[in-house]
Amino acid sequence: MTVIRFFSGEQIPVEMHKTKILQKLNLIPIDKRLEAITKAGYNTFLLSNSDVFLDMLTDSGTNAMSDRQLAAMMIADDSYAGSETFTRLKKVCQKIFDMEYFIPAHQGRACEHLLAQILVRPGQLVPMNYHFTTTKAHIVSMGGIVVELIHEEALNPESSFPFKGNMDVDALHELLSDRGPEQIAFVRMEAGTNLIGGQPFSLANLKNVYHVCREFGVPLVLDASLLADNLYFIKTREPGCKELTVAEIVREISRHTDVIYFSARKLGCARGGGICTTDQDLNARLSELLPLYEGFLTYGGMSVREMEALAVGLEETLDEDMISQGPMFIAYMVEELERQGVPVVTPAGGLGCHLDAMRFLDHVPQRQYPAGALAAALYIVSGVRGMERGTLSEQRNLDGTEPLANMELLRLALPRRVFTLSQVKYVIDRVVWLYHHRHLIGGLEFVEEPETLRFFLGRLAPIGDWPDKLAEAYAQELAVSHL
């Protein structure tokens, strides 16, 4: 991995790639941003991208592709059945993960849907390091119950523990011996644990989880959507792993897992998804469901061009310079904000920088969605779009009550290889301004609340007229002028 040292002693992440294609950006004035967020029901998902300056909503399907990926798209072999492209992609998956079977799917949640259909029976438990929104929705829709066996540091936003995505292995052992394997659908580990701030698990922890699963004969399923970041952290943070190549770390991971699935909107910087396994019976059952929900066995809902790009993207995941840009930029952002006193989740993880809205807006009650309010406020003062990852992203209980999220985070995703350091500095500047004016920000309430995954399409309104006051204060101090 290339780490450049500066004569000045500064720590600046340097990109090991250059820009070949660009997209022009738009920064609309603050009064237009206020209009846009009002029209969007104070939900950043409902903003139109033409009203967004820097889109830090997600890394899903927004990572920059390499020239090799784009070139590969041109040789895609489009055929309904038996395409050469599928054979190439399958071979890459077999080589990297060392698993015989590969089932293509249109994206990560499609893999979760297929696996939940086959593996989860009503009343069964699915122990995991932490849930992800779509994962939980699919397990619950099959009557399963998610049990989170988190590490004691996982929900501490001010931590220096390097592997907050670790599972509590003793708790897993206790649960499996109490309930017995029949009551467990599968055990799930999520790489780069998304909802707690892109936090990794260690290779040692995964191995321990796997040994417990073996002892009880329960399958271990790995959600590898954010594996690239997790690989970087294992390589740079875990004792004994510095000498391993990334390819060797992946091999170790797959040797200690039964099923690996991923969203190729993240892993491999393309669009699509897939399930890898060595289990012949599971493969046969997945193959039966595939044509019903996704498409024929040789494309599973993906376009062949994306499949070619994915094959190259997966190989590039083994290149340390390719996977280090995201975590290095995120670390820069997290450390700079921390230095300026802004509450962020530490240590820096993958995926993005996470502002801790519980501390940032400690005057806004959790039932008024502080992370959602912070997302709206940041958009108003910067044109930057982040994503609420807190109570809004939770689903109501069956009895209609609203569970409060463990953490209220505003995630500012850094899609890989997309933004420059000056853009990251702009975001830091606006977040710091917002922090100094945080008392101006108030809460939100639902106007329209959908039943499932309400954060995608729900509409909210500010409680009081705080957005106008915030915009006024901003316009006086910092409004951008167009010469």
Nearer to ligand PLP, 223 or 408 (CB): 223
x/- string (CB under 6 A) for ligand PLP, residues 189-228?
-x---x----------------------------x-xx--
Closest separation in Å from C-beta 194 to ligand PLP: 4
Nearer to ligand PLP, 198 or 372 (CB): 198
Tokens of 433: 């301004």
x/- string (CB under 6 A) for ligand PLP, residues 335-374?
----------------------------------------
| Backbone CA torsion sign across 358, 325, 249, 242 | negative
Residues contacting ligand PLP: total by CB under 6 A: 16
Q: Which stretch binds ligand PLP (CB under 6 A): 40-48, 88-96, 105-113, 466-474?
A: 105-113
Closest separation in Å from C-beta 454 to ligand PLP: 17
Q: Based on the residue annotation, tell me whether 223 is a catalytic residue of this protein.
A: yes
Q: Based on the residue annotation, tell me whether 266 is a catalytic residue of this protein.
A: yes
Q: Based on the residue annotation, tell me whether 132 is a catalytic residue of this protein.
A: yes
Q: Which stretch binds ligand PLP (CB under 6 A): 8-16, 81-89, 129-137, 421-429?
A: 129-137
Q: Based on the residue annotation, tell me whether 2 is a catalytic residue of this protein.
A: no
Nearer to ligand PLP, 108 or 370 (CB): 108
d(CA 152, CA 382): 35
Closest separation in Å from C-beta 203 to ligand PLP: 18
x/- string (CB under 6 A) for ligand PLP, residues 244-273?
-------------------x-xx------x
Q: Which of 45, 77, 133, 469 is catalytic?
A: 133
Under 8 Å CB-to-CB from 375, ≥6 apart: which residues? 44, 385, 386, 387, 388, 410
Q: Which of 51, 55, 59, 223 is catalytic?
A: 223
Q: Which of 88, 90, 389, 430 is catalytic?
A: 389
Tokens of 87: 């054979």
Q: Based on the residue annotation, tell me whether 389 is a catalytic residue of this protein.
A: yes
Closest separation in Å from C-beta 294 to ligand PLP: 12
Instruction: Tell me whether strands 145-148 and 352-356 are parallel, antiparallel or unpaired.
Output: unpaired
Q: Confirm if 456 and 134 have CB atoms less than 8 A apart.
A: no
Under the binding rule (CB under 6 A), the answer on residue 387 touching ligand PLP is no
- The residues pairing with 102 across neighbouring beta strands, listed in sequence order, are 276
Closest separation in Å from C-beta 223 to ligand PLP: 5
- The residues pairing with 259 across neighbouring beta strands, listed in sequence order, are 221, 277
Q: Confirm if 321 and 75 have CB atoms less than 8 A apart.
A: no
Burial of 100 (0-12, 13-18, 19+ CB in 10 A): middle
Instruction: Tell me whether strands 187-190 and 145-148 are parallel, antiparallel or unpaired.
Output: unpaired
User: Which of 33, 88, 90, 109 touches ligand PLP (CB under 6 A)?
Assistant: 109
Under 8 Å CB-to-CB from 252, ≥6 apart: which residues? 203, 207, 244
Under the binding rule (CB under 6 A), the answer on residue 60 touching ligand PLP is yes
Q: Which of 42, 132, 233, 360 is catalytic?
A: 132
Q: Which stretch binds ligand PLP (CB under 6 A): 49-57, 102-110, 249-257, 402-410?
A: 102-110
Q: Which of 266, 385, 430, 438 is catalytic?
A: 266
Tokens of 461: 């309104």
Residues that bind ligand PLP (CB under 6 A): 60, 107-109, 132, 134-135, 190, 194, 223, 225-226, 263, 265-266, 273
Q: Which residues are identified as catalytic?
A: 80, 132-133, 223, 266, 389, 455
